[in-house]
Amino acid sequence: MPTFYDPEADAAEAREAIRGLAHASRQIDHPDALYGLVWEMLGATRNLEQVLNQLARNTLAHQQRASTDRGDDKIGHADAWAAADFLATAAREVGQAEAALDQASGLLGRIAWQKTPPQVAETIERAPHALDERQAQAKSRSWFEHPGIAAVKRERGLGR
């Protein structure tokens, strides 16, 4: 749950939430969920742009306190200024991602997803099982047991 007062804890939680979404969205079985997912990401992107701009402003606000580990204030101030500039650049680029998400959201909102035809649904359902079976066969059999290899082994007197 967000704290709304501890930016470090909230940033860590946001990272974990995005990590969870990255895992959960590897396969989406119901395409009608795409519109809602993109809508939520659009909102998250708008908030991320705001956060990046705020981080840039805060970096500049504390610029006079910046120095290097060796105590060089001038380099510290320059680094703070450069960091703020990069944060502002990141915010602008996230704004471009926001515009693209807005377009995607609009297009997804126009789609009426149809039911998957039964033969396609059966193929989709069988595919992971077929792959698992194929991998299990490959693991249970040495490449030396391949029929072609077995014939070569017999010809050379290496067979059983």
Q: Looking at the chain, how many residues does it have?
A: 160
**Helix-then-strand count for the chain, H and E:** 5, 0
What pLDDT score was predicted for residue 143? Answer: 47
What pLDDT score was predicted for residue 132? Answer: 78
What pLDDT score was predicted for residue 115? Answer: 82
What pLDDT score was predicted for residue 64? Answer: 95
List, run by run, the mean pLDDT of 10-residue segments along the chain (160 residues): 94 96 91 95 97 98 95 95 96 96 95 80 73 72 57 66
141: its two tokens: 């059999």
In sign, the C-alpha dihedral spanning 6, 12, 13, 18 is: positive
H/E segment holding residue 105: helix 73-109
Name the pTM for this structure.
Answer: 0.69
